[in-house]
Amino acid sequence: MKKTLMPLFALSVPFVLSSCGNGVYQPQPNGGAETSPPADTASDNIEVLDVVVLYSNAISDGRGEWIAEQARQIGIDLQLVDAGGVAIANRIIAEQGNPQADVVFGLNQLLWAELVAEGAITPYVPIWANEVPTHLNNPNGYFHAVALVGNLLAYDLAQITPEEAPTDWLDLWHNEEFHGRYTFPNALTGSTVHMILSGIFTRFLDDSGHLGISAEGWGNIAAKFANGVMTNEDIFVEMVNPASEVAMGQIWHMGIAPREAQFNMEAGVVVPEIGIPFSVEGVALINGANNEEAAQRFINWFGSAEVMNGFGIAFDYLPANPAAHSGLSDATLAIAAIPEQHINWDVIAPNMPAWLEHIYLNYLH
């Protein structure tokens, strides 16, 4: 399942020259025709930037443009390739014989494990690595955390009060009053659904069970899909639809505020006692990067507390580095205060493909 590749698309990597200074050549005052400027004078007015190709699933909504603009200040022309996390990981693996990217940013623990196992990224320890909580980084230096994404169960406060809301994901299918009132996506390819499922599977690990999950665990998975509403719509579209009973669904934490503004509504979030799964959005050096020195320079710069603080403030991101939390919004700091659910990724990651296949074959209809 992990070998299945998403369609590839062409990538050109032009070298971009950016003018600086006035760039004007004055001809000699002899009335003669203009001549070309001397070679050394022309080169003095040209800044050659190092090209770094960045693959990411976390650069939409202006984030990539912000990073690229800031990176020019350290002499890097950042070429961006934006796609979903699975597509990015599959493309990096497919290109191992002829790597096109220098750096990858984003993803989650499941996809990082895939890239490490395939040898598609190479160890590099940035100068800021020891500022990030140790458990968030790969112990062998393959990737390092720059941001955390909370994966949440959100609900419409116009339909459900905090007192009426569920207290855990399992309540959705254990409590009949929530049946038909929550959504699940009609495809299991997104990062958020993978993280939510990881948080459920980790509660029911059992070496003697089918595919390493207890009978109780599979019963919960079956009930989750049997009692929810399958949709390809954004959950906020479903929640504001007067013809729909839906009032709850999964979402990543940065997606809540813009949707509240877009749909003129207010959402609550469920905080299970066990905590929530946090996606580790990290940064890593591609194995065989074309511009390794510049790629390392970019990684050292991008993950620094100063840059991640600016990034966090601009886009409601939660930096993995606690030293970058100054000035973050109250909503982002509230996410930072939610307990992190402990998940053994060494067990979850290699088993997830088989679990997803079992869900597709048995519970998605």
- Of all residues in the chain, the percent with pLDDT exceeding 90 is 83
**pLDDT band with cut points at 50, 70 and 90 for residue 187:** confident
Q: Mind listing the pLDDT tens digit for each residue in 22-52? A: 232 233 333 343 333 444 434 444 468 999 9
The rounded distance, in Å, linking the Cα atoms of 246 and 207 is 36
Token pair for 127: 């100068």
**pLDDT on residue 190:** 84
Residues in the chain, total: 365
**Residue 170: exposed, middle, or buried by beta-carbon count in 10 A (0-12, 13-18, 19+)?**
middle
Buried/exposed code over 114-144 (b: 16+ C-beta within 10 A; e: otherwise): bbbebebbeebbbebbebbeeebbbeebbbb
More confidently predicted of 138 and 24: 138
DSSP string, 346-357: HHHHHHHHHHHH
Four-CA torsion 173, 178, 184, 186, nearest 10 degrees: 90
Q: What mean pLDDT comes out for the span 53-79?
A: 96
Q: Which of the residue ranges 13-22, 265-274, 281-290, 352-361 would you say has the lowest mean pLDDT?
A: 13-22
More confidently predicted of 191 and 128: 128
345, HSE (Cβ side, Cα atoms, 13 Å):
21
The rounded distance, in Å, linking the Cα atoms of 352 and 365 is 20
Token pair for 140: 């062998």
**Residue 94: exposed, middle, or buried by beta-carbon count in 10 A (0-12, 13-18, 19+)?**
middle
Q: Mind listing the pLDDT tens digit for each residue in 17-26? A: 222 332 322 3
The rounded distance, in Å, linking the Cα atoms of 192 and 228 is 16
Query: How do strand 248-252 and strand 46-48 relate by DSSP bridges?
Result: unpaired
**pLDDT on residue 226:** 97
Integer-rounded Cα radius of gyration of the chain: 24
Global model pTM greater than 0.85:
no
Q: Is the pLDDT of residue 14 over 90?
A: no
**pLDDT on residue 24:** 28
Are 154 and 235 spatial neighbours (Cβ–Cβ below 8 Å)? Answer: yes
**pLDDT on residue 365:** 73
